Amino acid sequence: MNLSATDLSFAYGATPLFEHLHLETPEGRILGILGPNGAGKSTLLKLLHGELVPGHGKVALANRPIDGMRPGEIARLLAIIPQSVSISFAFTVREFVAMGRRPHLGLFGHPGPADRECVSQALLETGLEHLADRPVTRLSGGETQLAALARAFAQQPRILLLDEATANLDLAHTARILTLIRRRVRENGLTVLAVLHDINLAAAFCTDVVFLHQGRLLGPQSPDKLLSLETIRQVYGISPDQLTLHIDPFFVSHRFA
């Protein structure tokens, strides 16, 4: 499944965030989008799933301009998991996960046996079946993100966007969520674009990475080729004596002045 940006430009007011940006997502792989705060990583993700409209250029999903597609069409192909999920009503976990089936429901919007089976499978896969009747408002942060992942799995997208989806989670929940996603990539050919801040996490999780820096992209390349001292110093402005790169296992350490 193809998701691409061609000659993409976007600005907040008179200040351009990026101009003439090109991005082609590698199908069936995990592309990590890295870069400093304010570089436009989350904005790029919003442009890619149609939440924002570019000032110039186009985004194409399945070789179709995304601005000509209906929301339901987009949602049948693409899902997004944000950094935090805001839930105002005390839906049960099962009800919340079942919302992922909405793009696939027929004219009258009634779920059938196949939809209910898909929800049950998503709960089982994420280990949430024992919490299926609990209100989502009573979940921990890690459980809430797992529920968001289950909802995305129930949606059955071909492409999954992660906007720092594990940024506020402990190591155990982070590992669990990313392991489940990698399994979907391996077994179902899911394509993933993930905005990340943690370089070490990107190296462990992603098959390809890009840096968004000063309005342009560096990459994509495999982590072992792009995550170099030179690139990290260039992108983040860290002086040479503050940074150490350990290759095996991959680890970036930074000494504070």
Chunk the chain into consecutive blocks of 10 residues (it has 257) and report each block's average pLDDT, rounded to whole numbers. Answer: 92 89 93 94 94 94 93 94 86 96 81 93 96 94 94 97 92 92 95 94 93 92 89 86 76 75
61-66 own/partner pairs: CB under 8 Å, 24+ apart: 61/1, 61/2, 61/3, 61/159, 62/1, 62/2, 62/158, 63/2
- At the top level of CATH, which class does the domain 3-85+157-226 belong to? alpha beta
Is the CB of residue 44 less than 8 Å from the CB of residue 80?
no
Domain boundaries, the chain: 3-85+157-226
Q: Give the pLDDT confidence score for residue 251 in this predicted structure.
A: 76
Q: Give the pLDDT confidence score for residue 107 in this predicted structure.
A: 62
